[in-house]
C-alpha cells in the first residue's frame, strides 16, 4: 500500500491532514487526521474510510469533506479559520 500525504490545513484550533492510500488493485482509499492541542497535550484522531475510488483526487476530496463534516458536527456554531 502506498500512502500519499497532502498539505495539511488549519480550521480553528484543529489541524486537518488528508491522505490517500493506493490499494493492491490500484484503487484509492481516503484517510484524515484531525489534530488538536500542543506538546504533550496533543490529541490526534485518525479516520480511515471504507469506500474505494478510481481516482486519487476523488479519495482526497472525500477525506477533506469527511474531516470538515466531523468538525461541523462537533462545532455547529462554526469555527474560526
Please report whether residue 81 resides in a domain: no
Domain containing 29: what range? 2-74
* Distance between CA atoms of residues 10 and 17, nearest Å: 9
Q: What is the number of structural domains in the chain?
A: 1
Please report whether residue 79 resides in a domain: no
Task: Classify residue 53 by its DSSP letter.
Answer: B
Please report whether residue 12 resides in a domain: yes
* Distance between CA atoms of residues 39 and 54, nearest Å: 38
What pLDDT score does 12 carry? Answer: 87
Please report whether residue 22 resides in a domain: yes
Please report whether residue 61 resides in a domain: yes
Cell of 60: 482526497
pLDDT tens digit at each of 81 positions of the chain = 555 667 889 888 899 999 999 999 999 999 999 999 888 889 999 999 999 999 999 999 999 999 999 999 887 776 644
Please report whether residue 80 resides in a domain: no
Amino acid at each position: 500500500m502506498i500512502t500519499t500525504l497532502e498539505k495539511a490545513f488549519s480550521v480553528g484550533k484543529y489541524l486537518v491532514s488528508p491522505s490517500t492510500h493506493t490499494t493492491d488493485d490500484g484503487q484509492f482509499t481516503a484517510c484524515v487526521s484531525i489534530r488538536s492541542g500542543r506538546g504533550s497535550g496533543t490529541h490526534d484522531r485518525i479516520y480511515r474510510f471504507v469506500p474505494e475510488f478510481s481516482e486519487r483526487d476523488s479519495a482526497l476530496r472525500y477525506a477533506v469533506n469527511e474531516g470538515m463534516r466531523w468538525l461541523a458536527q462537533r462545532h455547529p456554531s462554526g469555527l474560526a479559520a
